[in-house]
């Protein structure tokens, strides 16, 4: 049994989902898990006797202009490392979590190993900033082991930060019990979708990098040839702009804005196709969630997306901004039920063979063993 600390951003988002699901699966295998986060991870909604939550409280002293999250986190990490005698502290995001973990390791008396997982945004967005660049590089190089969620992210990290450190690729995974195609009976009806209409879905946090407008433009072309509805799931900074575009294209009756949703697998279960046309995406956990529910995907030739979608087998890869091609592939697939059925089953098969949670969790455990035996 290992004692493992986990730090992540606990709110909705792929990295928080992966960190929490990993903690749950490790606990189910008999390990003791200590989440050190600013709030309870949103997926942690059951009682697990071997999962503990240590809250990072922010100090609002008048002397601080801003509450120092990073310092509060480092000091909580040091406290938990010593009190619980952690073997591993696994942090998600180099900036700031790896940097905090390294500081905590310096402060703590008990020896702990730091494992850092890179999810992308710290590298592809913050890594561009010269002031942060050195800090991220430090966080990565001082960690005992580093993982990234795709080959593409390893390459980008190596190039952008000139890092000379081994990084293992450990892909995203899903909880297969939750992400499977379900009997949805009347969900389509509840949303006013006719049985003969195809359902296209997009799920994201509506940040600029997700290019949701491209999804709308592609759908505009698709719906001229295929009787269909578009489900938009999520919320974020671009939401108002996207609403405006839908209005201006007069697509209000065909585009359903669902906002943030909890039971995404129910919505995936009524979907025929998923679109993810991002300009940055280190893996695209939402693609794997879709594939696991038998939904083929069309995604851009960006970041880790081509490592998830197999072009011509589980969906299609298009160049960034190529709306015509996206629509042409979608129409071809949606108009050919045999092909669609084949892609659905191939998607499920790929999700279950290449990205199965048991295998991915094992890869993390093997890495922990490697790090612990190298001391």
Provide the binding-site residues for ligand GMT, judged by CB under 6 A: 13-15, 18, 119-121, 149, 172, 205, 207, 209, 280-285
**In the complex, what is the shortest distance from the CB of residue 91 to ligand GMT, in angstroms, rounded to a whole number?**
13
**In the complex, what is the shortest distance from the CB of residue 204 to ligand GMT, in angstroms, rounded to a whole number?**
7
User: Using CB atoms, what's the residue nearest to ligand GMT?
Assistant: 14
Helix (H, G, I), strand (E, B) or coil at 312: coil
Residue 182 region, left (φ>0) first, then alpha (ψ -120 to 50), else beta?
A: beta
**In the complex, what is the shortest distance from the CB of residue 120 to ligand GMT, in angstroms, rounded to a whole number?**
3
CB closer to ligand GMT, 204 vs 269: 204
CB closer to ligand GMT, 2 vs 207: 207
The DSSP secondary-structure symbol of 311 reads B
**In the complex, what is the shortest distance from the CB of residue 21 to ligand GMT, in angstroms, rounded to a whole number?**
11
CB closer to ligand GMT, 169 vs 249: 169
CB closer to ligand GMT, 15 vs 344: 15
- What does the DSSP assignment read for 107-171? H-SS--EEEEEE-SHHHHTGGGSHHHHHHHHHHHHHSSEEEESSHHHHHHHHHHHT--S-EEE--
CB closer to ligand GMT, 12 vs 340: 12
**In the complex, what is the shortest distance from the CB of residue 231 to ligand GMT, in angstroms, rounded to a whole number?**
18
The Cα-based distances of 97 to 118, 135, 190, 263 in angstroms read 10, 11, 43, 29
**In the complex, what is the shortest distance from the CB of residue 305 to ligand GMT, in angstroms, rounded to a whole number?**
8
- What does the DSSP assignment read for 49-67? TTEEEEE-PPP--TT-SS-
CB closer to ligand GMT, 79 vs 235: 235
Are 227 and 198 in contact by the 8 Å Cβ rule? The answer is yes
Are 358 and 175 in contact by the 8 Å Cβ rule? The answer is no
């Amino acid at each position: 049994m290992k004692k493992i600390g986990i730090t992540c951003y606990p709110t909705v988002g792929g990295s928080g989902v992966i960190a929490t699901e990993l903690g749950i699966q490790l606990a189910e295998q008999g390990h003791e898990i200590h989440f050190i986060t600013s709030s309870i991870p949103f997926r942690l909604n059951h009682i697990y006797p071997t999962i503990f939550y240590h809250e990072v409280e922010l100090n609002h002293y008048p002397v601080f202009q801003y509450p120092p999250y990073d310092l509060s986190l480092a000091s909580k990490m040091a406290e938990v490392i010593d009190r619980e005698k952690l073997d591993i502290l696994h942090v998600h995001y180099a900036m700031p979590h790896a940097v905090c973990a390294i500081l905590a390791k310096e402060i703590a008396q008990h020896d702990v190993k730091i494992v850092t997982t890179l999810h992308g945004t710290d590298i592809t967005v913050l890594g561009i900033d010269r002031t942060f660049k050195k800090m991220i590089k430090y966080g990565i190089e001082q960690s005992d082991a580093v993982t990234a969620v795709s080959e593409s992210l390893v390459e980008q990290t190596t190039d952008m930060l000139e890092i000379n450190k081994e990084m293992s690729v450990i892909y995203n995974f899903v909880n297969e019990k939750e992400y499977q195609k379900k009997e949805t009976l009347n969900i389509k009806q509840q949303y006013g979708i006719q049985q003969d209409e195809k359902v296209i879905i997009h799920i994201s946090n509506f940040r600029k990098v997700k290019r949701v407008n491209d999804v709308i433009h592609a759908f505009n072309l698709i719906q001229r040839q295929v009787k269909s509805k578009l489900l938009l799931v999520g919320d974020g900074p671009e939401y108002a702009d996207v609403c405006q575009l839908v209005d201006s294209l007069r697509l209000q009756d065909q585009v359903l804005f669902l906002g943030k949703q909890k039971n995404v697998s129910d919505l995936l279960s009524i979907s025929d196709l998923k679109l993810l046309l991002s300009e940055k995406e280190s893996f695209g956990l939402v693609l794997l969630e879709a594939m696991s529910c038998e939904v083929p995907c069309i995604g851009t030739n960006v970041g880790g997306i081509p490592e998830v979608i197999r072009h011509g087998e589980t969906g299609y890869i298009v160049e960034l901004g190529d709306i015509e091609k996206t629509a042409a592939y979608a129409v071809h697939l949606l108009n050919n039920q045999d092909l669609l059925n084949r892609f659905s089953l191939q998607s499920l098969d790929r999700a279950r063979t290449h990205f199965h949670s048991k295998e991915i969790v094992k890869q993390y455990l093997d890495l922990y063993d490697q790090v612990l035996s190298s001391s």
